Amino acid sequence: MTDNIQTLLNFLPQLWEGVQTTLILTVLGSIGAVVIALVLGLAMTSTHRWLRVPARIIVEFFRGTSLLVQLFWLFYVFPLLGVDLDPMVCGIGALALNYGAYSAEVVRSSIITVDKGQWEGAIALSLSPTRRMTRVIFPQAWALMIPSLATLLIQLLKGSAVVSFITLQDLTEKIDQLRQSTNDTYFSFTIGLIIYFVIAWLLQEFMNFLERRATARLGRRRPNSRTDRRATRRDAREALRQDRLNSRLRGAGAGPGSGNAGGGL
């Protein structure tokens, strides 16, 4: 065990490089994905058939073919077509295209979920289509789409491990090297999984922060927020106390068991 820890300490700088690679892939990949998602998602809500149909085809194409196929296409096939891409660019590109297509669907469905009255109100105020989207519809859709985007962001982080197949030295690859030098699978992989878990947790907190800010801007609180949950619990406690008090006042006639029958589920 002490040997393992010694090896780990010596390996730390390399591990940090791996974490950095994974973080760069995740951050740049997700920025690319959001840009692609906004373009395709808005195109899919367009009334114009020439925008809607191609966008739909692109989205279904990148959703339907697997991430790894897209990555290998960029990595192995593009050089044959005369385009040499850096493995890092391949990784970011594949992640952005694949998760961008998934996010585009989220963007589309959030935009069409915004209350119809909001569209009508914006039209009645004769806002231009651009202002209607940027000032009225999109801020509300944005608050709606963040939870789903957060899930996809975590998926993207997990998906970024595929780049270890195209010679990139990301966290997964580094952990595999740690396994080879310590010869201890449990030790090295547990560390790797914990690092991924912590990164995922930080990303989730960041997205929660974004959601709080987006909903606060609309003058709302996010659904099932901590404040709401606390209030619900307090109300439930208060109701229970009242209930007990009542049954005690009613005395032995009511019986102690009758108050909470069927409280199981």
Partner 1 sequence: MIWNWEFAAEALPILLRGFVNTLIATAVGTLIAVVLGLIIAVAIRGLPRWINWLIRLLVAFVRNTPLIMQLMFVYFIFAGIPGLVDIPALVVGFIVIGIHYSTYMSESYRAGIDAVPPGQHEAATALSLPPVRKFTAVVLPQALRATVPSLGNYAVAMFKDTPFLFAISVVELVTSAQQFGAAKFAYTEAFTLAGIIFLAASYPTSLLIQRMEKRLATY
Structural tokens at position 120: 């009508």
For partner 1, the closer CB: 16 or 186: 186
- Under 8 Å CB-to-CB from 85, ≥6 apart: which residues? 74, 75, 78, 79, 93
Site membership for partner 1, residue 81 (CB under 8 A)? yes
DSSP 65: S
Give the number of C-alpha atoms closer than 13 A to the C-alpha of residue 29, restricted to the C-beta side: 33
Contact 69/89 with Cβ under 8 angstroms?
A: no
* 176 is a contact residue toward partner 1 (CB under 8 A): yes
Q: Give the x-and-dash track for 89-118 against partner 1 (CB under 8 A).
A: ------------------------------
Other C-beta atoms within 10 Å of 23: how many?
16
User: With binding defined as CB under 8 A, does residue 37 bind partner 1?
Assistant: no
3-state secondary structure of 97: helix
Query: Which of residues 4, 14, 65, 181 is near partner 1 by CB under 8 A?
Result: 65
CB of 92 to partner 1, least distance (A): 17
| Helix ranges (DSSP H) in 46-86 | 49-64, 67-72, 78-80
CA 135, 141, 144, 145 torsion: positive or negative? negative
Does the protein bind partner 1 through residue 175 (CB under 8 A)? yes
Least distance in Å: CB of 78 to partner 1?
9
Structural contact between residues 33 and 96, judged by C-beta atoms closer than 8 angstroms: yes
Contact status: 24 vs partner 1 (CB under 8 A): no
Distance (Å, whole) CA 205 – CA 259? 40
**Residue number, 72 or 119, with CB nearest to partner 1:** 72
Region of 34 (left: φ > 0; alpha: ψ -120 to 50; beta: rest) is alpha
Residues 200-229 close enough to bind partner 1 by CB under 8 A: 200-201, 204
Contact indicator for 90, 164 with CB cutoff of 8 Å: no
Q: Is 61 in the site for partner 1 (CB under 8 A)?
A: yes
- Of 144-173, which residues contact partner 1 (CB under 8 A)? 154, 157-162, 164-165, 172
In the bound state with partner 1, the residue whose beta carbon lies nearer, of 103 and 164, is 164
Pick from 32, 91, 196, 222: which binds partner 1 (CB under 8 A)? 196
Stretch that binds partner 1, among 25-33, 134-142, 187-195, 245-253 (CB under 8 A): 187-195
Residues at the site binding partner 1, with contacts judged by CB under 8 A: 60-61, 63-70, 72-73, 76-77, 80-81, 154, 157-162, 164-165, 172, 175-176, 179, 185-186, 189, 192-193, 196-197, 200-201, 204, 262, 264-265
